[in-house]
Structure 1
Amino acid sequence: MKEHFAEIIKSVGEDLNRPGLADTPERAAKAFQFLTRGYHQNIDDVVNGALFPSDSDEMIIVKDIELYSMCEHHMLPFIGKAHVAYIPTGHVLGLSKIARIVDMFARRLQIQEQLTLQIANSILDITGASGVGVIIEAKHMCMMMRGVEKQNSTMKTSAMLGSFRSNQATRGEFLSLLR
């Protein structure tokens, strides 16, 4: 990857021998590996057995989970927050695991719509919840730094599964608790 970054830097007309760029290809490669580390993680390792018996059948919400991802179209960042809710049916997921699941999928090249659905489907599969709701709000650098250059636009996506899709009261409770 280091060699590829060197070629990219040269192709924009820069001189890799100038002091500020001497180690940039290596630093860029390390940064890109960090930004895409989700490809080297899997859901079983992330959850690590943190599924606990519980009698709770009330909605659990984790709000404002910051996320950093990169769009697959321009390989530019999108930055925002995820709100995740589920209704347990006998098991609850360790609190930090929800944020780790968000991170695992966010640290891959993709679109926000797919990220939202991946998080929701994973939490549903892991917990066996009766329903899962995920909302992501993010600002996309591909829209802010290039193209239409709109600085104040935010994209919101949602995935509503199970009772969050079939029961308007459940969906309404989730949305009202986010306000």
Structure 2
Amino acid sequence: MDAIVKSLRPADEKEVALEPVRRPTREEAEAAVRTLIAWAGDNPDREGLVDTPKRVAKAFEEFYRGYNERAEDALERTFDEVGGYEDIVLVRDIPFYSHCEHHLVPFVGKAHIAYYPSEGVVGLSKLARVVDVFARRMQTQENLTAQIIGAIDETLKPRGVAVMLEAEHQCMSLRGVQKPGVSTITSQFTGVFQDDPTEQVRFLTLVRSGK
């Protein structure tokens, strides 16, 4: 990864670069974890914790690998030989986990994505890949929803896209109000889904069918 990391936030469904931030070294990251362990009240030098800073740094690389990935790369290959199919394509119950940018604790849920093809279709697994690219960043659920639909709409240029996320936030279940089992639902629509309420109903019906 580059030594300089740009913080990314959406504006009108597009990412804009803020002030560059120097990416700390692995040694600096591990030292920061040691500081947090000590601040929490434990001894970072005891046997059970002595290697924890290394493990946490490695885990962060996996948790936040989305900063090094582009959704456009997952969507760049499309297929035109679909026998003239032009109806809705829906992939539902895509599992994901992300981390709340306010407390760095997980929120876990499922994504449902539908689109109407206009210039070919994309491999179904690629939609799940798009979810992962953006979920593996520090996020809010609202922003995650907007980034997913923005990437699909801009790259595939379909006749319409629908995205719905359902997730449980551990910042609500483990801290604060401590209310486990509460689901947060976000949705966004473009194209025909946005223009025609009956298409939104169709999308929601297909998502809920069989549940």
TM range (shorter): over 0.9
Q: Indicate whether 1:150 and 2:187 are aligned.
A: no
Counterpart residue number, 1:13: 41
In the TM superposition, residue 45 of structure 1 has moved relative to its aligned partner by 2.8
Q: Match of 2:130, as an amino acid?
A: I
Dislocated runs of 4+, deviation >6 Å:
none
CA distance in 2, matches of 1:152, 1:44: 34
Residues 105 and 118, structure 1, Cα contact 8 Å, conserved in 2:
yes
1:112-123 counterparts in 2 under 5 A? 112-123=141-152
Question: Could you tell me which residue of structure 1 aligns to residue 59 of structure 2?
Answer: 31
Distance 2:60 2:175 in 1: 20
1:3 offset after TM fit, Å?
1.4
Give the corresponding residue for 1:86.
115
Alpha-carbon separation, structure 2, partners of 1:3 and 1:102: 32
Greater helix content: 1
Letter in 1 for 2:188: A
1:102 aligns with 2:142: no
Report 1 or 2 for greater relative contact order, CA contacts < 8 Å, sequence distance ≥ 6: 1
What is the distance in 1 between the residues matched to 2:200 and 2:43? 55
CA offset digits 1:24-56 (Å, max 9, x no partner):
000011111110110010123333x32111432
Deviation per CA, 1:72-106: give whole Å up to 9, x if none. Answer: 11111000000000000131011110000000000
Which structure 1 segments of 5+ residues have no match? none
Kept in 2: contact 1:56–1:89 (CA 8 A): no
Matched, 1:70 2:99: yes
CA contact (8 A) 1:46 1:97 kept: yes
Contact 2:72-2:151 within 8 A present in 1 as well? no
Secondary structure at 1:17 match in 2: coil
Following the alignment from structure 1 to structure 2, what is the Cα–Cα distance between the partners of residues 150 and 167?
36
Residue of structure 1 in register with 2:50 after alignment? 22
- The partner residue of 1:50 within 77, 81, 85 is 77
* In the alignment, structure 1 residue 135 sits paired with structure 2 residue 164: yes
Gaps of 5+ in 2: 1-28
User: Which residue pairs with 2:6 in the alignment?
Assistant: none
SS in structure 2 opposite 1:21? coil
Offset, 1:11: 1.3
Cα separation, 2, equivalents of 1:165 and 1:44 = 23
TM-score, length of structure 2 as denominator length: 0.82
How much has 1:12 moved relative to structure 2?
A: 1.2
Identity %: 43
Count of residues in correspondence between the two structures: 178
